[in-house]
Structure 1
Amino acid sequence: MTRLVLATRNAHKVRELGQILDGLVEELGLEVVGLDAYPEIPDVVESGVTFAENATLKAVAVAKATGLPAIADDSGLAVDVLGGSPGVFSARWAGRHGDDRANLELLLAQLGDVPDDERAAAFVCAAVLALPSGEVVVEEGRMPGRVAREPRGTNGFGYDPILVVEDGRTAAELSPEEKNSISHRGIAFRALAPHVRLALKRAAGLNR
Structure 2
Amino acid sequence: MQQIMIASNNQGKVKEFKALLSSFDVQVLSLADLDEPIDVEETGETFEENAALKAEEICARTNMVTIADDSGLVVDALDGRPGVYSARYAGLDKNDQRNTAKVLTELKEVPEDERTARFVCALALAIPGKQTEFFRGTCEGKITKAPVGEGGFGYDPIFYFPPKGKTLAELSQPEKNKISHRGHALEQLKAYWKEWGGGF
Q: TM class by shorter-chain length?
A: over 0.9
CA-CA distance at 1:97 after TM superposition: 3.4
Q: Which secondary structure state, in structure 2, belongs to the residue aligned with residue 77 of structure 1?
A: strand
Asked if the contact 1:77–1:124 (Cα under 8 Å) also holds between the matched residues in 2, the reply is yes
Partner of 2:51: 55
Cα distance in 2 between the residues matched to 1:39 and 1:152: 38
Cα distance in 2 between the residues matched to 1:189 and 1:11: 17
Q: Which secondary structure state, in structure 1, belongs to the residue aligned with residue 59 of structure 2?
A: helix
CA-CA distance at 1:200 after TM superposition: 2.1
1:12-23 correspondence runs (5 A) = 12-23=12-23
Q: Does 1:3 align with 2:6?
A: no
Q: Which secondary structure state, in structure 2, belongs to the residue aligned with residue 200 of structure 1?
A: coil
Cα deviation per residue 1:75-117 (whole Å; 9 max; x = unaligned)? Answer: 0000001111100000111113320011111110110000001
> Which residue of 163, 173, 178 corresponds with 2:175?
178
Partner of 2:198: 200
**CA separation of 1:199 and 1:177: change in aligned 2, threshold 3 A:** same
> Which residue of 39, 42, 66 corresponds with 1:70?
66
Q: Output the TM-score relative to the length of structure 2.
A: 0.95
Asked if the contact 1:21–1:190 (Cα under 8 Å) also holds between the matched residues in 2, the reply is no
Cα distance in 2 between the residues matched to 1:155 and 1:11: 14
Asked if the contact 2:31–2:38 (Cα under 8 Å) also holds between the matched residues in 1, the reply is no
Cα distance in 2 between the residues matched to 1:96 and 1:61: 21
Partner of 1:40: 36
Structure 2: runs of 5 or more not aligned: none
CA-CA distance at 1:41 after TM superposition: 4.4
Cα distance in 2 between the residues matched to 1:194 and 1:39: 32
Q: Which secondary structure state, in structure 2, belongs to the residue aligned with residue 73 of structure 1?
A: strand
Partner of 1:130: 126
Q: Which secondary structure state, in structure 1, belongs to the residue aligned with residue 140 of structure 2?
A: strand
CA-CA distance at 1:124 after TM superposition: 0.4
Q: Which secondary structure state, in structure 2, belongs to the residue aligned with residue 3 of structure 1?
A: strand
Letter in 1 for 2:171: L
Cα distance in 2 between the residues matched to 1:49 and 1:178: 31
Q: Which secondary structure state, in structure 2, belongs to the residue aligned with residue 22 of structure 1?
A: coil
Letter in 2 for 1:191: Q
Structure 1: runs of 5 or more not aligned: 203-208
CA-CA distance at 1:199 after TM superposition: 5.0
Q: Output the TM-score relative to the length of structure 1.
A: 0.91
- How many residues are aligned here? 198
Letter in 2 for 1:161: P
Cα deviation per residue 1:26-48 (whole Å; 9 max; x = unaligned)? Answer: xxx21110011114242100000
Runs of 4+ in 1 over 6 A off after TM superposition: none
